[in-house]
Structures are given as structure tokens and as C-alpha cells.
Amino acid sequence: MKSSGNNFFKYIFIIVVIALICGAVYILYYSNNKEGEEDIEDSNSSEEENISIVENLKMGITNYDTMNPILTKNRDIVNIDKLVFDPIFFITSDYNLQTCLGKSINRTSETSYEIKIDSSIRWQDGTTFTSTDVKYTIEQIKNTNSIYLSNVQDVVSVDTPDSETVVINLSRNVPFFEYNLTFPIVSSRYYFDQDFVNSNKIPMGTGMYKIASINDDNILLIMNDKWKNFKTNQPRTQSITLHKYNAIGEVFNTFKLGNIDLLNTYMTNYADYIGTIGYNKREYSGRDYDFLSFNCNDNILSDPAVRKAINYAINKDNIVSTVFGYSKIVSNSPLDYGSLLYNGENVISFNQDLAKKTLQDNGWTYTNNRWQKNINGYVKKLNLSLVVNKEQSDRVNVANNIKNQLADVGIIVNVVQVDNNRYNSYLNNKDYQMILTGVSSSVSPDLSYFYGYGNISNYYNEEVFSKINSTDTIKEAQKITNDEVPHIGLYRNKGTIILNSNVGGDFSPNSYFLYYNFNKWYRQQ
């Protein structure tokens, strides 16, 4: 019994020793692997820190006119100026409103807004930004036929009760007016004794960069150490050189040779100039939105089922591929360019079977190769006219494409090609059944042109009217209109930022601003 007891304790001892050895091995293994993970993390951080960054980034522009943000008509300068000049409110990559020079906005009545500005902001010469600068800028926009005129066309007066307060009075209720306050602000003091339009002074801003020089060949931008975020988000690129060219072909050729680092284009055949390798690209949805509008007062098209059937019958991908060679982006809504307020619920997709079923379920019968229905005691045939401007060849091709697609489901369409004057008469008087048209979208989510009182489609829905002017309910309004189809979104243009493979950063372009997070952009050797 004693020998048996000794053996028992011996076994216990062996088990404890083995457990201790296993524990030591595990701890050693975990420790080594943890150190390895830390080494990897340190290596990545070190790799990021050890990137050899070139201080200067080079861009190319054509058709240069002026760096004055209020006077320029050049689309490239408009985007570059956003690195030099700040707006009252900024639009984020998802089209949300963000404070910038303005700290807050309060709607005091249907036609009046009070804005508090950030008086801690300094112009690049160190002078203080004041409410007078906002008033002065609005006045110059209205007096110079600026590209921002539509932003302030309803402004009747601007008051500045103190240096930090701006009161803007409007001639009418403008939905989402705060989104109009996204134009660049210029200094009133800087131009005090100047003819604003003819001044030779180099424009001065409050933004990330300042204009150091302008000559016949290039423009030099350097970091602005007075920029409000300079200490916390100092740009990795210290300077930007904007090289001037006479034609886009020169820009492409210079990029191909590696003499400029990035460019923006709305051309879709850029690969013909620069090839297909050796660079990166970022595409984004443009503002040009084309759509098929219905006249909802028409005896036939007042029926939502007919409008839905037509929507089901149109293959938008086919239009984009066959008519435009994929140079456009399929679009379903005025807000599907990236807005956080876009609602894609209930959006109708191409389905010929559902097109036919939708008509059948709503009393239409297919007889003698066409659809017909008894409406108010009369047999109506589904034979529709589509107006298009004959001077716009692409839209004529789109109209004929739609005609052929609808014919596949038995809907007969007559394409009416008219000159520009007659087209505008049809459009302005809403004297059509269907019309192929388009608009240039603003950054504002205002949908009144499409769904509000007096809209382009003669569409009437009180619930929609009450919901489209609030960020809280605009998505609910879109859910309704997606189902009732007052118009059919077709496609929009697209832009492309083309970047040298050595350019790094956080790229999130949209049609309002191409250079989001530019403080993180850089070119490495």
C-alpha cells in the first residue's frame, strides 16, 4: 500500500512538471509571436514614415483665364480654387453640409437666414475674416455674371449687424438654401481700392494653399500657414505647380512623359492619348443628368401603371453601351450622384415580362399587335409620341433606342424630332406626352423641379410636395416617386481623375470637389 501511495504522488509530480513545461512553452511562443506582430506593425509604420515625398505636385490646365474664383469660367480652375478659397459651408464627399467659414445658420423666417461666421479665421495676409467679406462676395457675384450667380439669384439684401453675423434676405422661399452657400469667399478689404473685375492683384484666400505667383507658363501654389487646420492637418505636399497648356492633347502628352502628376478629364477616350498602364484613375458621377419626362396630365400617361411599364421596358445599360460606349453612367434619380439623401428603394429595373404584366394587371389588353384599353368609354391605344431636339444627335439616338426597346413589349412610340426653338416651346409649355431632356444637377438636394408644385412632369402628389423640402422626409418622398415614376432617369456624365502611379493619398472625388483630403495627397520619388 505504501509503495502504491508513493507511485501515486510520483505520477502527480510528473503531471505538474509537464503542465509547467507546457505553460512555459506557450508563454514563450505567444511572446515571440506578439513581438513579431509588433515588428510587423512597426515595419508598416516605419515604411509609411520612410516614404520619400516630393515637395511639389504638378498639374496641367488648359484655357486659363483667371485665378479669381468669382470671375473664372474654367472648370479646372474652379476645382483648384477650392484649395485656395473657402466657402461659408462645405460639401462633403457624400454631399452633406459641413461648416467652414460659417459656424452656424439659423432660418429666422421663410425668406431670411442668420449666419454666424468663424472670426478666428485669418486671410493669408493675417487679416481677420469678417461678415463684410461675405456681403462683398455676394455683391460681386451678382454684379459680374459669375458662375455662382444661380446660388445667390434670389438674394435681395445682405445685412451685417456685426462683424460675426450675416443676415441674408431672399425674394422667395428657396428649399435647402444653405446648400447654395458653397461658393468661395473673397476679401473685401483686399479689393477695397480696386476695380474687382480688372484688378491685377493676385487673389488671396483662407484655404489650404495660397497663390505665390502667376506667369505666362505656370501658377505656383504654396502652403498657407494661416489656414485654420494648418497645425493639425498640415499638407504633405508643400507646393503645387499648375502648368498652362493650349490644348488637352498637350496635357495628355505631358502626363504620359511624366512631367505632370495628375489631371482631370470628362473625355472618355483618354486612353487613346496616354495608353492603359502606368497610372491610376478615380471615376466619379458628373452633374449632367438626362431623363425621360412624362406629361402626367396626359389621358394615357396619367396612369402610373403605363409609366411603370415603360420604365420596366427600358434597358438603361443597353443605352449606355450602344449609344455612348460606356462613356455615361446609368442613373435612376436626380440624387444618385452620391448624395446621402438618395433613396434607391422601389427603383424599377429592366424586366420586359413585368412591363407586360403591369399593363395586363391594370386593364390593358394586347390585341392586333398593340395594347389597348377602354378609358371613359373610348378605346385608347398605347401609341405615344416622344419629343427630342434634332440638333442633339446623341439624344436622337437615345430616343430611337427607347422606341425600339418599347416596341419589343408592344408599346408604339413615334419619335418627334424638332428644332431647338420648337423643342424649347414643347418643354416650357409642357406640351408633350414624353420628352427627352436633361439638367445640370446642383449640389443642393432640391427636387422641386422634378416633383414640386409646377414641376416639369405635371405630376401632382400632395404628400410628396410636403416631404421633398426636409432632410428628414425627402427619402420618403423619393420612395413614392420611385414607384409612381413621373420621369425616368437614364444616365449622367462621368469625370475621371488620372494620377501618376507615384501619387498617393485618400481619393474621394465628386462633382463638387475633386480634391478631398488633399492634405494627405503626396508624390513619392
- Quick one: DSSP state of residue 259? S
Q: Which of 363-377, 419-433, 443-457 has the lowest mean pLDDT?
A: 363-377
Closest by CA to 290, choosing from 384, 391, 394, 390, is: 394
Q: Residue 170 above 80 pLDDT?
A: yes
Q: Residue 417 above 50 pLDDT?
A: yes
Sequence-ordered list of residues with C-beta below 8 angstroms from that of 229, at least 6 positions apart, any chain? 208, 519
Which residues partner with 118 through β-bridges?
A: none
Residue 249's domain comprises: 52-67+207-278+501-525
Are 337 and 483 found together in one domain?
A: yes
Q: Judge whether 75 lies within some domain.
A: no
Are 190 and 233 found together in one domain?
A: no
Angle between helical axes of 304-313 and 474-484 (0-180°, round to 10): 80
Are 177 and 141 found together in one domain?
A: yes
Are 298 and 382 found together in one domain?
A: yes
Q: What is the CATH number of the domain that holds 441?
A: 3.10.105.10
The confidence band for 31, taking pLDDT boundaries of 50, 70 and 90, is: very low
Sequence-ordered list of residues with C-beta below 8 angstroms from that of 334, at least 6 positions apart, any chain? 289, 291, 439, 441, 447, 449, 450, 489
The torsion angles phi and psi of 102, rounded to 5 degrees, stand at -90, 140
**CA–CA separation, 341 and 445 (whole Å):** 7
Retrieve residue 472's grid coordinates: 428628414
Q: Residue 40 above 60 pLDDT?
A: no
Which residues partner with 221 through β-bridges?
A: 211, 240
Are 240 and 332 found together in one domain?
A: no
**CA–CA separation, 261 and 273 (whole Å):** 15
**Alpha-carbon distances, residue 110 vs 114, 169, 170, 175, 381 (angstroms):** 12, 9, 9, 9, 47
Confidence (pTM)? 0.86
pLDDT of res. 378? 87
Proportion of the chain above pLDDT 90, given as a percent: 86
Sequence-ordered list of residues with C-beta below 8 angstroms from that of 228, at least 6 positions apart, any chain? 118, 120, 121, 122, 206
Q: Judge whether 3 lies within some domain.
A: no
Q: What is the CATH number of the domain that holds 153?
A: 3.90.76.10
Proportion of the chain above pLDDT 70, given as a percent: 90
**CA–CA separation, 434 and 386 (whole Å):** 5
Are 303 and 258 found together in one domain?
A: no
Average pLDDT, the chain: 91
Tell which phi-psi region holds residue 371, choosing left (phi > 0), alpha (psi between -120 and 50) or beta.
Answer: beta
Last residue of a domain, one of 169, 200, 231: 200
The torsion angles phi and psi of 459, rounded to 5 degrees, stand at -85, 135
Closest by CA to 511, choosing from 338, 281, 329, is: 338
Q: Judge whether 27 lies within some domain.
A: no
Are 477 and 402 found together in one domain?
A: yes
Q: Judge whether 99 lies within some domain.
A: yes
Q: Judge whether 271 lies within some domain.
A: yes
Q: How many domains are contained in the chain?
A: 3
What number is the average pLDDT over the span 43-63? Answer: 73
Virtual torsion, Cα 372, 397, 435, 466, nearest 10 deg? 100
Retrieve residue 454's grid coordinates: 409646377
Q: Quick: pLDDT tens for 249-273.
A: 999 999 999 999 999 999 989 999 9
Q: What is the CATH number of the domain that holds 508?
A: 3.40.190.10
Q: Residue 20 above 90 pLDDT?
A: no
pLDDT of res. 50? 61
Q: Quick: pLDDT tens for 280-337.
A: 999 999 999 999 999 999 999 999 999 999 999 999 999 999 999 999 999 999 999 9
Are 311 and 330 found together in one domain?
A: yes
**CA–CA separation, 341 and 475 (whole Å):** 6
The confidence band for 245, taking pLDDT boundaries of 50, 70 and 90, is: very high
Q: Judge whether 263 lies within some domain.
A: yes
How would you write 187-215 as a 3-class SS string? Answer: CCCCCCCCCCCCCCCCCCCCCCEEEEEEC
Q: Are 365 and 378 in contact (CB under 8 A)?
A: no
- Quick one: DSSP state of residue 127? P
What number is the average pLDDT over the span 205-226? Answer: 97
Strands 279-294 and 328-330: unpaired
The confidence band for 26, taking pLDDT boundaries of 50, 70 and 90, is: very low
Cα 111 to chain centroid, rounded: 27
Q: Residue 15 above 60 pLDDT?
A: no
Retrieve residue 336's grid coordinates: 444618385
Are 311 and 407 found together in one domain?
A: yes
What number is the average pLDDT over the span 44-56? Answer: 63
What number is the average pLDDT over the span 212-227? Answer: 97
pLDDT of res. 375? 85
Are 294 and 399 found together in one domain?
A: yes
Angle between helical axes of 304-313 and 352-361 (0-180°, round to 10): 170
> What H or E segment, with its residue span, contains residue 280?
strand 279-294
Are 164 and 261 found together in one domain?
A: no
Q: Judge whether 223 lies within some domain.
A: yes
**CA–CA separation, 129 and 87 (whole Å):** 12
The confidence band for 49, taking pLDDT boundaries of 50, 70 and 90, is: low
Retrieve residue 98's grid coordinates: 459641413
Q: Judge whether 16 lies within some domain.
A: no
Are 196 and 213 found together in one domain?
A: no
Q: Are 476 and 342 in contact (CB under 8 A)?
A: no
